[in-house]
């Protein structure tokens, strides 16, 4: 069981409150904590695979992290966020969903959301204004500009994370170009997927297309236009539309958005 020393008392308290409230298979388990006047420490379950960020940056590990495992991780994170947003007594927003805060087991098939130091309980009687929290490149724009937080902030981060999982690297500048003209974008889906992996087989092809469609559906900068995690989790649980391998090689980003 790893322990993490926390220097920020507010983050320490937030982490304990959130992990005490949330009980879900895809959220890291908190086994205990210790605090005195010098330092505070949290004790978590140990995940041998390490962070998703490190796995994607290592070519050898990224290849082992195959398409089936990547789809499972996306579904696991979606289910955990759905639980946080819609099934807890008070909705909880993580505010820092990134590949560095997703831990995987040794087989890379099970995901756990980690690091709840910036998590926020949403008050239905408040505007939920906040200071900036999160990781640049994953944080929703409204947090940086209007300092308002809601569940759609995590949806934005989930979309970036999902793109990173299927592309094999952070989408970075590609996000703005895709968001600006996604419906008419003639870029082939096959050209943006992680080229380190073996070609998609029929058994997983439809699932990957569905995951990609969901990722691109969250591109809107407007929180009101983003789907909820309940909607995304429900979509991921459905049997995906069937495609042939020939069809796959003609699918564009614009097509995904229009279908």
Handedness of CA 182, 187, 192, 198 (dihedral sign): positive
**In angstroms, what is the C-alpha Rg of the chain?**
18
Q: Is 115 one of the annotated active-site residues of the chain?
A: no
Instruction: Write out the residue range of the structural domain in which residue 138 sits.
Output: 3-258
Is the pLDDT higher at 224 or at 10?
224
- pTM attached to this predicted model: 0.89
Residue 3 reports pLDDT greater than 60: no
State mean pLDDT over 104-122: 91
* Helix-helix angle 202-217:67-86, to 10 degrees: 40
| Tokens of residue 166, six digits | 């299927």
Give the model confidence (pLDDT) of 142-187 as tens digits: 776 666 778 999 999 999 999 999 999 999 876 766 655 555 578 8
Pick from 43-47, 62-66, 211-215: least confident: 43-47
Say what the pLDDT of residue 64 is.
97
pLDDT band at 132 (very low <50, low <70, confident <90, very high): low
Residue 133 reports pLDDT greater than 80: no
Q: Helix (H, G, I), strand (E, B), or coil: what is residue 19?
A: helix
Residue 254 reports pLDDT greater than 80: yes
Nearest to 158, CA basis, from 56, 50, 78: 78
Q: Give the angle 244-250-233 at the CA atoms, nearest 5°.
A: 65
Which of the following is catalytic: 59, 66, 96, 107? 96
Domain with residue 125: its CATH number is 1.10.510.10
3-state helix, strand, coil in the chain (%, to 5): 45, 10, 40
Residue 5 reports pLDDT greater than 70: no
Domains: count for the chain:
1
Q: How far is the C-alpha of 82 from the C-alpha of 87, rounded, in Å?
A: 7
Say what the pLDDT of residue 36 is.
79
Q: How far is the C-alpha of 225 from the C-alpha of 121, rounded, in Å?
A: 22
């Amino acid at each position: 069981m790893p322990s993490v020393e926390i220097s920020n008392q507010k983050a320490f308290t937030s982490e304990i409150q959130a992990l005490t409230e949330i009980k879900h298979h895809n959220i890291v388990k908190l086994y205990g904590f210790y605090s005195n006047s010098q330092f505070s420490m949290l004790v978590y379950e140990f995940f041998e695979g390490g962070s998703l960020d490190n796995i994607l940056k290592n070519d050898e590990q990224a290849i082992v992290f195959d398409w089936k495992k990547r789809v499972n991780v996306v579904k696991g994170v979606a289910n955990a966020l759905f639980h946080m947003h819609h099934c807890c007594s008070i909705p909880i927003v993580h505010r820092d969903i990134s590949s560095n805060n997703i831990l995987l087991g040794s087989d890379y098939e099970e995901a756990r959301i980690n690091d709840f130091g910036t998590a926020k309980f949403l008050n239905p009687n408040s505007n939920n204004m906040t200071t900036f929290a999160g990781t640049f490149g994953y944080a929703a724009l409204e947090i940086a500009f209007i300092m308002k937080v809601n569940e759609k902030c995590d949806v934005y981060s989930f979309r970036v994370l999902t793109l990173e999982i299927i592309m094999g690297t952070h989408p970075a500048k590609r996000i703005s170009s895709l968001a600006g003209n996604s419906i008419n974008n003639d870029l082939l889906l096959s050209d943006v997927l992680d080229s380190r992996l073996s070609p998609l087989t029929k058994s997983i092809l439809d699932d990957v297309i569905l995951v990609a469609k969901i990722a691109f559906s969250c591109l809107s900068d407007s929180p009101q236009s983003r789907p909820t995690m309940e909607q995304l989790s429900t979509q991921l649980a459905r049997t995906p539309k069937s495609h042939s391998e020939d069809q796959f090689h003609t699918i564009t980003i614009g097509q995904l958005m229009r279908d």
